[in-house]
Each structure stands twice: as structure tokens, then as C-alpha cells.
Chains A and B, each alone.
Chain A
């Protein structure tokens, strides 16, 4: 009784830079279609994913955090009624260094069969994480924003 999305990518960067790209708004905005995360990054602190226009895309809580290695977020969508109704998902980021390459593993899951939210993030994560890898390795993201919006839905209207 669960839905689970797993994605692993290897990036030519350091765990420290990857961690910054994942958690600091000024970096996150550059590859995540202008979105950024809002949190003080302490266990138990609230966590929000904010659209460029200030609206809240997702909310939750920091469940675990170990800088440069591991981040677990309790994560609920706020702008797609069907996904929001499913309640909280759990998203785990794991970072492992392999020489000058860093492995990032993202697991997004919920204790629910055929979750709409996990289906949605299964389309979204490969795009965002491809953007992240390009951003860290080449200095610029892919700018897939148009395609992303058309699939996920235009957040501005919800």
C-alpha cells in the first residue's frame, strides 16, 4: 500500500555545493523554475515551497537534516486539490561523494497506492534534477519551464 518514486543522478560537484543548491533560495530559484524553499532548516521546523509570485506550492516540515548528507521533508501539495487530499508525502534527499562526483538520490513516497501526488512528482523530478545537474556542471539551467508548467498545471491559476 504505497507509491514511491526514486531518482538517482550523479553530478560533477561537491556535497557542499549540492547542499547549497538544494537549500539556499538564491541557488534554488535558478534551476527550479524560480521556486524556492522557505525554512530555517531545523528538525521540526516548517518547510514551504514558494512559487516566484509568492504563492505557496507545498508545505510541510523538516523531519531530518544532516547538512551535505541527508534531508527528509514531510511534504504536502497545496495547489492541486486531488494531491492535497492525499495528505503528507515524505521526500528524502541523500548525498554521497564519489571523488569529484556527487551522487544525489531522491526518494518521494507516500503510504497510499496509486498516489496522484507521486505520479505528478514522477514527471516533475526528472526535469528539476536535470536542471540542477546542468546548473551545477555548466552554470546554466535548461529552461524547461514551459513544458513543466503545461504538464503540472499552471500554478498561478490555482
Chain B
């Protein structure tokens, strides 16, 4: 009785830089479609994923709109982060309740391995299905940003500013 998505990527970077890219808003915005986390990164602290300030969704600006909410379950910079994570903008996803997302970082010489596991104790979770489509693209951006200095400019994401919301709706 569970749904689970696992993705591993290897990035030419250090665990410290990867940790910064994952947790600092000014970095996260560059590879996560303008989104950023809001948290003080302590165990038990609240965590929120915020839509970009300039996002237009169905013709309306959604300044400061909250995409997902949760809590820091475990944090060990720069090797491990576990988030309790619930979607907030789609009723059917929100109804599934909290998922758990684990980021694990392992150094291999000049390369850092990042493993993302996103799971929920629920069969056929729509949230995990959506996350399974979103993570490969977002993590491809992250790898490109860290290795080349610029994220990918993926058409499907950038031609339509509503994509962050729509993407999850479709997926």
C-alpha cells in the first residue's frame, strides 16, 4: 500500500554547493521554475514551497501563493533532508495528505550523487504520479545549472507561465 518515485542523478559539483542549490531561495528559483522553499531549516520547522512572485495562473497573478506545505522531518547538511510534504493547490492531491520526500547526497570524488525519493503510504497516488513527471525535469535543470552555470530552457515549462500549476494538474 504505497507509491514511490526514486530518481538518482550525478552532478559535477560538491555536496556543499548542491546543498545550497537545494535550500537557498536565490539558487532554487533558478532551476525550479522560479519556485523557492520557505523554511528556517530546523527539525520540526514548517516548510513551504512558494510559487514565483510573478506567476500568472488562469489570467491572475498569484503573488506569494503557496504550492506545497509541510515540515522538516530530518536535516543534516550537506547530506540528508527529509520533508513532510503536502500539495496545497489541487484539491485531489491535497486530499491524499502528506507525502515524504527524502534528499540524499553522497560525494564520489569530484562528483556528487543526489537521490530523491518521494513517497506516500497510498496506492496509485496521483501526487506521486505528478511528482514522477516533474522531478526528472527539475533535476535535469539543477544538474545543468550546477555544471554549466545555466538551467535548461525547456519549452514546455517556459512558453506558458501557467505551467507550474497546469503541469501538476495534467500530471
Binding site for B on A (CB under 8 A): 7-12, 98-101, 126-127, 130-131, 133-134, 137-138, 142-144, 146-147
Contacts and interface: CB of A to CB of B under 8 A. Distances in A.
Interface in B140-158: 140-141, 143-144, 147-148, 152-156
B111 A144 contact: yes
B10 A10 contact: no
Contacts of A133: 140, 143-144
Given A130-B10, A130-B11, A10 B148 contact: no
Given A98-B155, A144-B111, A7 B148 contact: no
A84 to B, nearest CB: 25
B109 to A, nearest CB: 8
Contact of B152 (A101, A126, A138, A144): A101
Interface in B26-83: none
B111 A10 contact: no
Interface SS of chain B: helix, strand, loop or mixed? Answer: mixed
Contacts, number: 62
A100 B143 CA distance: 16
B111 A142 contact: yes
B160 interface: no
A7 B136 contact: yes
B12 interface: yes
A134 B136 contact: no
Contacts of A137: 144, 147-148
A12 B144 contact: yes
A2 to B, nearest CB: 17
Given A101-B152, A134-B147, A142-B10, A10 B108 contact: no
B143 A130 contact: yes
Interface in B87-144: 108-111, 136-137, 140-141, 143-144
Contacts of A131: 10
A99 B136 contact: no
